[in-house]
């Protein structure tokens, strides 16, 4: 699915997005970047609270399509610049990593064609 659906369907705020969006085929949730380097798959969306430029460097090594920053974390300017250079999307959300993982899994399961009842699931 296209990462643009993270904004269109999940209402996640887009911090950085290449023009045509990025392709996402799976998700990986971790705050240890050594673990991300070892286990995340190409074209995944990385769900994390690690908002800094090393996250982009790790993402570019693996070919991660999008970084979703949870708990309202934001990206510093140098992280955004690095993501632009490597065509990686960055989103932020108030959701926890658990909730974001659940929502992304639902979205991927339905190939992006899903109207999530966000209000109802807010407490997850």
Partner 1 sequence: MKYKVDLHNHSCLSPCASLEMSPSVLVKRAIRKKIDILALTDHNTTKNLPAFAACCANNGITPVFGLEVNTFEEVHVVCLFEKLENAVSFGNYIESTLPAISNDPEVFGDQIIVDEYENILGSVDSLLFSSSSISFFELIPRVLDLGGLVIPAHIDRSRNGAVSQLGFLPDLAYSAVEARYVPCSYETYNNAVITGSDAHIRSSIGSRSFYITGEYKSDFSSLSHALREKNILYR
- Using DSSP, state whether 27 is helix, strand or coil: strand
CA distances to 3, 23, 51 from 99, in Å: 17, 21, 18
Restricted to residues 78-107, the positions that interact with partner 1 (CB under 8 A) are: 78
Determine, following the binding rule CB under 8 A, whether residue 32 of this chain makes contact with partner 1. Answer: yes
Q: Which of 15, 37, 80, 114 binds partner 1 (CB under 8 A)?
A: 37
> If you search the block for the tokens 């966000």, which residue do you land on?
118
Q: Which of 25, 39, 54, 122 binds partner 1 (CB under 8 A)?
A: 54
CA distances to 17, 27, 35, 105 from 109, in Å: 23, 11, 24, 6
Instruction: Sketch the per residue contact string, 60 through 79, with partner 1: x for CB under 8 A, - otherwise.
Output: ----------------x-x-
Kindly list the residues in this chain that would bind partner 1 in the complex (CB under 8 A).
Answer: 32-34, 36-37, 50, 52-55, 57-58, 76, 78
């Amino acid at each position: 699915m296209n990462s643009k659906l993270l904004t269109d369907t999940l209402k996640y705020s887009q911090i950085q997005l290449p023009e045509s969006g990025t392709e996402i085929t799976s998700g990986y949730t971790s705050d240890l970047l050594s673990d991300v380097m070892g286990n995340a798959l190409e074209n995944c969306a990385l769900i994390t609270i690690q908002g800094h430029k090393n996250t982009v460097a790790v993402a570019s090594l693996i070919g991660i399509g999008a970084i979703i920053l949870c708990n309202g974390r934001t990206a510093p300017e140098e992280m955004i610049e690095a993501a632009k250079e490597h065509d990686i999307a960055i989103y932020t959300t108030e959701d926890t990593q658990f909730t974001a993982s659940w929502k992304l899994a639902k979205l991927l399961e339905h190939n992006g064609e899903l109207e999530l009842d966000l209000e109802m699931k807010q407490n997850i």
